[in-house]
Amino acid sequence: AQELFVGTYERHKQIKRASTLMRHWMEDNMPSTLKDILDNDTGTASMKPLSFMPEGPGSRLILSVDLANAPHYDVNDVSKSVAVWVEEKPGQAENWYFVFPNISYEDKEGVVVRLRHGTAISWDGR
């Protein structure tokens, strides 16, 4: 299935700016992860860059407002992912966690990352 995004010119400008900032941040802070994402996108026919995100950091960029992602389970993920949590007013989000149910650490099943302003994580969904 092909995805279609229809938005306003102003929204495209905002997304282009956000994706450019993320690309530059990843170049400085997660260069090997950025390289892996770009290499994977190049080798995956379905991962073509969007016209309003010419600098990436990959073929997709998802923004969430106020850490408001509903719990979900990704299936058929074909790349590495990066998430950076930024609060509009740092310190107000409480009891927010990112859960990796299929990762083990120190003989415990599942990994839970407490989220706060500025938390950055990367995972390989393949």
Residues 27-79: tens digit of each pLDDT = 999 899 888 888 877 766 666 667 777 777 776 776 666 555 666 666 777 77
- Please give the Cα distance from 91 to 96 (Å, whole number): 11
Residue identified by tokens 């990762």 is: 103
Which tens digit of pLDDT belongs to each residue from 75-95?
777 777 888 888 878 888 788
The pTM score is 0.66
User: What H or E segment, with its residue span, contains residue 34?
Assistant: helix 31-43
